[in-house]
Amino acid sequence: MVAVSADVSFAQGPTSEVDSALSGAATNALLAVDGAAAPAEEKTAMDQWINWCVQGGRTMIFLGALSILGLGCALERVCHLRLKRIVPEGFSAKIVALWRDDKIAEVREECSKSGSMLARVVETMLEHAGSNDYQEVKMFAEDKAGRELRLENRKSAMLATVATLSPLLGLFGTVVGLLGAFTTVAAVGEMGDPAILADDISKALITTVAGLAISMPALFVYNLIKTRLNLYAVILEEEVSDLVHNLFIKISR
């Protein structure tokens, strides 16, 4: 009995080691497969995007150019259109203090260093500081502020163009795809296998989706920028009015 037990235990020992080795190899293989699955999925998704762009036809080239243009314009506007570039904090108080002390040279220097929209309005006010007419000084200041705001507004026009033109280009691609489908049907003579229309129909749908995907965020950012600019315009108008009032008081003394 002892000999038999020893033989059995001796036989089970190598078998257990083999099972452990096989189990470890299987685990490593599964981990390797899982690790390779993510890059494979990413590659598949990228290939799908490329495939859609190719299926969309030449219209996708123009839509891609519009998307790049819209993205660049949106980034420039969001980064550039800041309140400190329109009405810097504390700038008006500093200008008024220098103005009341007759430090006109320092006022010009502060305007030059600031480079803000309000600073350019103050420079216009300095050019007409010799006038004793409150309405005239106010008119020149408001005219300068209005021209500066219109210039900022024109910089956002390209974003509005992208938002308007991209769905129209998508619709153009849709029409081209449908025309291709009808041409294929006319050439074949009957509907037959729907697969023969797959390329043209996919072109129509892909360009439509691409146009809308470009237009919606562009329109959102454009309206966001317009709202921000309108708010800054109100703040600028108040600051200009206060500065003109302080200038007129100084001139009238």
User: 113-162: per-residue pLDDT in tens?
Assistant: 888 899 898 888 888 776 667 788 888 888 999 999 998 888 889 999 99
**Do 67 and 161 sit in the same domain of this protein?**
yes
With 90 as the cut, is the pLDDT of residue 78 above it? no
pTM above 0.75, yes or no: no
What is the pLDDT at residue 39? 52
| pLDDT tier at 193, thresholds 50, 70, 90 | low
| pLDDT tier at 13, thresholds 50, 70, 90 | very low
Candidates 185, 201, 198, 166; CA nearest to 59 is 166
Contact (Cβ atoms closer than 8 angstroms) between residue 158 and residue 69: yes
Contact (Cβ atoms closer than 8 angstroms) between residue 121 and residue 240: yes
**Do 37 and 149 sit in the same domain of this protein?**
no
What is the pLDDT at residue 160? 92
The residue-averaged pLDDT of 23-47 equals 51
With 80 as the cut, is the pLDDT of residue 182 above it? no
Of 159 and 8, the one with more pLDDT:
159
Domain boundary among 55, 72, 95: 55
Total of domains in the chain: 2
Q: What is d(CA 147, CA 144) in angstroms, rounded to the nearest whole number? A: 5
Q: Where are the alpha helices (DSSP H) in 81-156?
A: 83-86, 91-100, 104-114, 117-127, 134-155
Look up the domain containing 140 and give its range: 59-253
Residue 117 burial by CB count (10 A; 0-12/13-18/19+): exposed, middle or buried? buried
User: 56-75: per-residue pLDDT in tens?
Assistant: 778 888 999 999 999 999 99
End-to-end CA distance of the chain: 125
| pLDDT tier at 245, thresholds 50, 70, 90 | confident
With 70 as the cut, is the pLDDT of residue 253 above it? no
**Do 152 and 43 sit in the same domain of this protein?**
no
With 90 as the cut, is the pLDDT of residue 221 above it? yes
With 50 as the cut, is the pLDDT of residue 228 above it? yes
Domain boundary among 9, 28, 55: 55
Of 38 and 136, the one with more pLDDT:
136
Contact (Cβ atoms closer than 8 angstroms) between residue 215 and residue 167: yes
**Do 70 and 135 sit in the same domain of this protein?**
yes
What is the pLDDT at residue 211? 92
With 50 as the cut, is the pLDDT of residue 44 above it? yes
**Do 71 and 42 sit in the same domain of this protein?**
no
With 50 as the cut, is the pLDDT of residue 167 above it? yes
Domain boundary among 55, 84, 101: 55
What is the pLDDT at residue 191? 55
**Do 40 and 67 sit in the same domain of this protein?**
no
The per-residue pLDDT of the chain, averaged, comes to 77
